[in-house]
Structure 1
């Protein structure tokens, strides 16, 4: 059984909890606000791929220097997540989420005054990486675990899809704006959206159902709010060291390294340059990537529903196998225009793009209990390490081989490895004690 340190809790309010219907409305409203924050943060993660050519032309910077900012962004995006989860438990979800959106907005606005590659790395890589890293699937897992007892898989899938929904809402418009107005106006517009969402989070998001006198959705009784956890960073590292003693953690982290390398790592920073190699216009390439985002959202929501009903390990095996087959077929269907075969690739690949998140969150929670969101945060860090490495190595491989075909084939092979790893995850719970 999973063992945990006893966490002091605050007393329930003196007034009676609100009705179940009111609790349901409040829980879904919180999920919508959290989704808006994730959507906005997700939009910033896809922009660097659209800025490579404009920045190269304007500043004559090497493409590798520009890609470095994207890699730093991805790595910090992942490394921030587990600490952000613990910080949210210490300082409150609302404060951390609102502050993160402000940091993202400041980083985006600051790019308008940059003159050197290191400034791009600082503003987009560090500031936006840290801010958006607080609004990842770990944030989604914490919201879900506090506000929902029923429909957790569905809500997790929907919030997981929110990041890619940012692509759907912003990416084609940003690509068109960059093509028509250069890169500064769309970046400033995104920064202003981030400021507006920061205000929305500060006004409407709440840390725990007890704050507003309601029960979590689907709960049978009132749940008192846990007391603020002291030593957020220490607890985050303690959970990591305890989890590292279990084989399940290494299997989850290994799968997520491959997951990050074969999804956002290669796609967000290398898809548009790869399409350009085939003669495809940037706006068309962004539209195809947006189509992937649409079906990623659908796939994540569907995966959440499936995770409530089927073995998460088997789902992961199926998802990684399908992803491997689509990447293997990509060199055969990549053309100068969006042919039906490429559209089929975008649909199938999109459906399994983010679908891995709900099963991994479920396995983390099943195995590590209350520490599951933090453990998932560390697994997500591994995801982003794989993504950062893939973003840089993918561009490097393009320079060495003159094209991306070897990259697609290599990633297909490692996805098959991830499918095998999913098959050997143990079903029994790990004994994790956090003191």
Structure 2
């Protein structure tokens, strides 16, 4: 069998929904609300609404494009087909760097909840290696594990939110300093980090059955599950902790649990929920980044060995092993809050190209009205430009470095 054979179509709509929800439920719920509250203060829920609107527009663009181009690579492929090779590269590179950072963030979140500080980085690396091994042995195992993780996360999260509401009184929401529109958009950019999981469904377009029907349905269903969940969680945290206290904590749900009379048993529940959510997001992230790297390597925009598909397990095994190695290295050096902003910048770049590509579709390939893509494109540009400076500068630098590297390689090839 060829080392660059096609991937196998094994995922149903239900499988894809579980992977999408598992990708989204994790990051924002347990990490992103705190830095977002620091930026937006009492306007946190407005920032969440802005992030949700932009994410919804992006979701419809992704669904529309994935239905026409049901192959691995997501917007890397869509950008190449609709806008040209350079735009495809910008999208793919933005996704790879942003989601590689997300992998590190999820591994670190998992470790931060389950072990003391001295053990966190080794445990985070072990989580990366373990879940890369799961992905290596086939996407159907990824989907089965995603189902289990999603069920556990939702059950534990529901228990936590009910206990926090029942066990604590509302507080004055308060302010965390003067907040303007820039603070709201910066918070929205950070919260967007939590919504971006539906891209994982599009990047797995070569592995779903009946992709024209399955991909749009799975993206929209995943989004419909997650947006209300984030809204409720954000309201509970803001209402029970207040903006200043929420901004000051590194573990918002754990801090909320500690204010209740049930802290003795609710604290461990939150820890388990956070750990499982982080693992679920990391599992899907590894799958999504590996498949985008596969698509880019097929077009020689990344080293061609990354395009190899395992003859038995039908997964891009070289890409996933390389990803696990890079993420393990990042875990040793990154800061969690900064890497959230870096990830958001990369992924917002990816979705800006997706919206621009979707704007060019017409006829039977157009599933949603063009104004949604216009709002999505403008929203991505605005949010990407307002991520915190400590994330924006390295994000721009790495994006430009990738473009320069591609230009040098293309010139060398003649």
Bucket of the pairwise TM-score, normalised by the shorter protein? 0.3 to 0.5
Which structure has the greater CA radius of gyration? 1
Give the structure-1-normalised TM-score.
0.32
